[in-house]
Amino acid sequence: MTDVLILAAGLGTRMKSQRAKVLHELGGSPLVAHVLRAAFELAPGAVFTVVGHQANEVEAAVRNEAEREEQTGTGALQVPAFPELKFVHQTEQRGTGHAVMAAREELATRGGLVVILPGDAPLIRAETLRSLVERHEKDGNDGTMLTVEMDDPTGYGRIIKDNEGKFLRIVEQKDGSPKELAVKEVGVSIYCFNTAALIEGLDHLNTDNSQGEYYLTDVPKIMQSQGRRVGLLLHSDAQEVAGINTRIELADLERKLRERKLRELMLAGVTIVDPATTYIHRQVEIGQDTIIHPQVIIEGATRIGSGCTVQSWTRMKNVEIGDNVTIKNSSVIEDSVIRDGASIGPFARLRAGAEIAEKAAIGNFVEVKKSKVGKGTKASHLTYLGNATLGERVNIGAGTVTCNYDGVRKSETIIEDDVKIGSDTMLVAPVRVGRGSKTAAGSVVTKDVPPDSLVAGVPAVVKKKLK
């Protein structure tokens, strides 16, 4: 049985942030979520996460991602049972070895193997972890480390070998002699250990180094001195296993991840007019022959059908879009549903559960909040629709407002099929406009309108003094 242990308790001083490093986002999800996904693909028995800095937030991020993975079932997970999620608290951060020591009790109850991953290496692929475990088992090792050669190894632990090329120890940046620091092969905090041997090794760790920390990197050396077998697996892709320590590295990997996503979409038949200015998060799905114009941002769990057009300067998050939908320039859309053939924008704002039915049109400077807009209905200019339900073939004149908030409560507006709302109508909710009715321009509608009627006028009179 293989378990996974993720090291995620550190603050990440070099990020210069109030926020724990593993919570910084890459491609729309926290760093630790990326690592977790790779871990799940190993089909482990349990995943332990060592938490410390902002423990609750890190734990929530891990649970969130696990829940998402469980629900969406990306197929990555070929195991019948979902791995057990366990959290280990490292209250004081005294080094990577200390982080694993915090999990000692938990690990002692497990047998088999444990794969250790840093929470800050988000591009790690499951295949790489699998080859690490394979090498570990094939060579009958007690510990196996993933290593990589870096042109600039600054900051990483150097792999020191003897003249015969036999592994001796790992030397950290701050402890190394110039000769040791010239070594280009580095450890990347990714290990496979026999759990029992790891625990024995941990018992011999000390803080005898320039940082006064318990270094996990000392464990292989200790194991060897106990007569155990330690192996290295040299990996070829340095970027995949690189840890993020600064915001510059975060931006570098963001670019890499973004390029990966855009290529995937283009290969699947989506036109991305200008990949250099298009930002599409990892979870987003887009159908064939949809065209994404320059300077578009699409985030969250957004799904876009085929044959759609998304024009420039549009930002969307968690939106479900059917086929042949047009989103015109500069629209901002969140948590909404837009069905086949609808047209949105330019300059439209949809949010909080807006639902736009087939062939409906939402035009310039129209805000739709928590409202349903029926088939073929149009609201083309300067309108607010909040807590409203609109039937089919309704026309909303320019400047219409559903007055849904009296300062205390939100109330509903219902507009039935084939209604024509005249320009600048105020619909004072709760109110219902019956099927086939019309309101004249400038009406203030405070009472329900029966079907097939024309209403006009302003009933605004002083009812009582407020003070």
Catalytic residue annotation: 381
Distance CA(4)–CA(25), nearest Å, equals 22
Least Cβ distance, residue 15 to Ca ion (angstroms): 10
User: Which tokens is 262 given?
Assistant: 């855009």
Q: Of Ca ion, ligand UD1, none, which one does residue 310 interact with (CB within 5 to 8 Å by kind)?
A: none
Residue with the two structure tokens 């629900």: 71
Question: Min. distance of Cβ 197 from ligand UD1 in angstroms?
Answer: 18
243 lies in the binding site for Ca ion (CB under 5 A): yes
Indicate the residue whose CB is closest to ligand UD1: 157
304: which 2 tokens?
Answer: 């876009």
Question: What is the largest distance, in Å, between two alpha-carbon atoms of the chain?
Answer: 97
Residue 262 is which amino acid? L
Nearer to ligand UD1, 125 or 393 (CB): 125
Which of positions 88-127 make contact with Ca ion (CB under 5 A)?
120
- Considering beta carbons, is residue 96 or 302 the nearer one to ligand UD1? 96
Location of structure tokens 């059917």 = 322
The least CB distance from residue 215 to ligand UD1, in Å, is: 4
Helix (H), strand (E) at residue 234: strand 230-235
Residue closer to ligand UD1 by CB (options 18, 78) is 18
Q: Which residue has the tokens 């605004």?
A: 460
Pairwise CA distance, residues 298 & 309, whole Å: 13
Structural contact between residues 203 and 196, judged by C-beta atoms closer than 8 angstroms: no
Binding residues for ligand UD1, rule: CB under 6 A, are 7-10, 22, 50, 90, 93-96, 98-99, 118-120, 156-157, 170, 172, 186-189, 215-217, 243, 245
Report 290-349 residues binding Ca ion (CB under 5 A).
none
Residue 422 is classified by DSSP as P
Task: Show the tokens assigned to 324.
Answer: 């042949």
**Which residue number, 54 or 314, has a Cβ lying nearer to ligand UD1?**
54
Q: How far is the CB of 374 from ligand UD1 (least distance, A)?
A: 51
What's the CA gap between 96 and 351, in Å, rounded? 44
Binding at 43: pick from ligand UD1, Ca ion, none (beta carbon under 5-8 Å per type):
none
7 vs 39, beta carbon nearer ligand UD1: 7
Residue count at the site for Ca ion (CB under 5 A)?
A: 2
Smallest gap from Cβ 86 to ligand UD1, in A, equals: 15
Whether cis (ω within 30° of 0) applies to the bond prior to 459 is no
Q: Which does 65 bind (CB under 5 to 8 A by kind): ligand UD1, Ca ion, none?
A: none
Cα separation, 376 vs 373, whole angstroms: 9
Could you list the residues that contact Ca ion (CB under 5 A)?
Answer: 120, 243
